[in-house]
């Protein structure tokens, strides 16, 4: 795993400014995201930069992740990049992008590297391929928020609007947690969801705790009914966009309250009230594959996009073994 480096204040300020003014700047390429990841056991994050005359021309934030120690950690050691790289301009763009991609390979020894794109990277595709990354189609939905808050509910299809209104009429509430205990209730719902259905790694509790403690990076929206937390969503916020990072609801138990629908509606409503422009669902599965979650997300008025992902397999044998065998540990990457 990475050694957590100490960066100068002047560099961090330049880094923040670069991401702030970049047209594709996003939360996952910021110092705040790096600090959040570095607060988690077995997870580390770092930044690679390209400079010209002491001015940043390109940024790439990446995180190395593994689940525990021993054989489980060995087979889950991976590198994930969200929403990067960010390169300043068209001039020398291919050269700068290539530098960042190749430098990433030098700095990480994980089983694989995966880029999860948050914007159209068509112009970078050939550079990625030249660096031995291959493209994987992957869908997403992005909701453009109405500038008239009262009209935002009309983004949802009729069944979703009806479910939101029925939930609220039945006594469900959308709240921002006032205590860490409420966040813990939400986290336990997530733990069960990932263990029983999703069967993928879930960030440890410290990640969710530290997100709650840092009031400047986003919001929790929890669903409360009859004094209990029955669902919620964790949403980083950056510039004009609010992101769905983790969501869960006790839909089978409270099947007439629709906690997951209400949790999804909450950040859309928040965005409208706070003049944000976009709600990013952060992924909707592979094209041409049946995926119930994509069907669910499609009902909230978002535009379907295919920004895809890039994959570089650094250790092919371990990658194949991990894909085939890690279901024994309920971890399939």
Mean pLDDT of 159-168: 96
Handedness of CA 182, 284, 82, 86 (dihedral sign): negative
Residues 6+ apart with CB under 8 A from 130: 98
> Rounded to the nearest 5 degrees, what angle is found at the Cα of 246, between the Cα atoms of 212 and 297?
140
What pLDDT shows up at residue 331? 42
Mean pLDDT of 153-157: 95
Question: Per-residue confidence at 168, pLDDT binned at 50, 70, 90?
Answer: very high
Q: What is the bridge-based pairing of β-strands 112-116 and 78-82?
A: parallel
Lowest mean pLDDT: which of 29-33, 220-224, 316-320? Answer: 316-320
Residue 71: is its pLDDT beyond 50? Answer: yes
CB 185 within 8 A of CB 228: yes
φ, ψ of residue 162 to 5 degrees: the values are -65, -40
Residues 6+ apart with CB under 8 A from 33: 27, 45, 61, 82, 217, 236
Spans of all domains in the chain: 9-138+307-329, 141-305
Residue 332: is its pLDDT beyond 50? Answer: no
Residue 68: is its pLDDT beyond 80? Answer: no
Of 113, 117, 122, 100, the C-alpha closest to 309 is 117
Q: Using CA atoms, how far apart are residues 184 and 79, in angstroms rounded to an integer? A: 27
Mean pLDDT of 289-314: 94
Q: Using CA atoms, how far apart are residues 16 and 13, in angstroms rounded to an integer? A: 5
Residue 57: is its pLDDT beyond 90? Answer: yes
Residue 152 in tokens: 């935002």
Q: Which CATH superfamily is domain 141-305 in?
A: Gcn5-related N-acetyltransferase (GNAT) (3.40.630.30)
What pLDDT shows up at residue 330? 46
What pLDDT shows up at residue 3? 54
Helix (H, G, I), strand (E, B) or coil at 157: coil
pTM: 0.92
Q: Using CA atoms, how far apart are residues 218 and 211, in angstroms rounded to an integer? A: 8
Mean pLDDT of 14-21: 97
Residues 6+ apart with CB under 8 A from 110: 64, 77, 78, 79, 314
What pLDDT shows up at residue 329? 46
Residue 2: is its pLDDT beyond 80? Answer: no
CATH topology of 9-138+307-329 equal to that of 141-305?
Answer: yes
Q: Using CA atoms, how far apart are residues 200 and 207, in angstroms rounded to an integer? A: 16
What pLDDT shows up at residue 67? 75
Lowest mean pLDDT: which of 120-124, 191-195, 311-315, 317-321? Answer: 317-321
Query: CA 14 → CA 9, 17, 30, 54, 91, distances in Å?
Result: 9, 5, 11, 10, 20
Of 15, 16, 81, the C-alpha closest to 308 is 81
Q: Tell me: the pLDDT tens digits for 214-267?
A: 989 999 999 999 999 999 999 999 999 999 999 999 999 998 999 999 999 999
Question: Per-residue confidence at 322, pLDDT binned at 50, 70, 90?
Answer: low
Share of the chain above pLDDT 70, in %: 94
Q: Which CATH superfamily is domain 9-138+307-329 in?
A: Gcn5-related N-acetyltransferase (GNAT) (3.40.630.30)
Residue 26: is its pLDDT beyond 70? Answer: yes
More confident residue, 197 or 277: 277
């Amino acid at each position: 795993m990475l050694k957590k480096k100490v960066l100068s204040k002047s560099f961090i300020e330049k880094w923040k400014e670069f991401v702030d003014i970049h047209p594709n700047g996003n939360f996952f390429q910021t110092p705040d995201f790096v600090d959040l990841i570095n607060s988690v056991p077995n997870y580390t994050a770092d930044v690679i930069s390209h400079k010209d005359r002491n001015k940043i021309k390109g940024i790439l934030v990446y995180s190395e992740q593994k689940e525990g120690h021993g054989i489980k950690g060995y087979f889950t050691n991976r590198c994930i990049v969200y929403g990067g790289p960010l390169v300043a301009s068209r001039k020398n763009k291919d050269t700068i992008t290539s530098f960042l991609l190749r430098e990433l390979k030098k700095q990480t020894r994980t089983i694989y590297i995966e880029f999860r794109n948050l914007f159209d990277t068509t112009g970078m595709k050939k550079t990625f391929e030249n660096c031995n990354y291959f493209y994987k189609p992957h869908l997403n939905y992005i909701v453009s928020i109405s500038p008239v808050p009262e009209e935002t509910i009309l983004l949802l299809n009729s069944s979703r609007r009806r479910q939101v209104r029925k939930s609220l009429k039945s006594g469900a509430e959308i709240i921002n947690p006032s205590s860490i205990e409420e966040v813990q209730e939400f986290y336990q719902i997530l733990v069960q969801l990932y263990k029983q259905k999703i069967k993928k790694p879930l960030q440890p509790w410290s990640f969710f705790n530290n997100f709650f403690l840092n009031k400047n990076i986003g919001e929790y929206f929890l669903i409360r009914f009859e004094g209990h937390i029955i669902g919620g969503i964790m949403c980083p916020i950056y510039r004009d966009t609010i992101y769905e990072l983790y969501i869960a609801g006790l839909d089978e138990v409270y099947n007439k309250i629709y906690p997951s629908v209400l949790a999804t509606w909450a950040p859309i409503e928040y965005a409208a009230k706070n003049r944000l422009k976009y709600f990013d669902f952060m992924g909707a599965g592979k094209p041409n594959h049946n995926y119930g979650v994509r069907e669910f997300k499609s009902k909230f008025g978002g535009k379907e996009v295919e920004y895809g992902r890039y994959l570089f397999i650094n250790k092919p044998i371990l990658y194949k073994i991990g894909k085939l065998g890690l279901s024994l540990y309920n971890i399939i990457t």
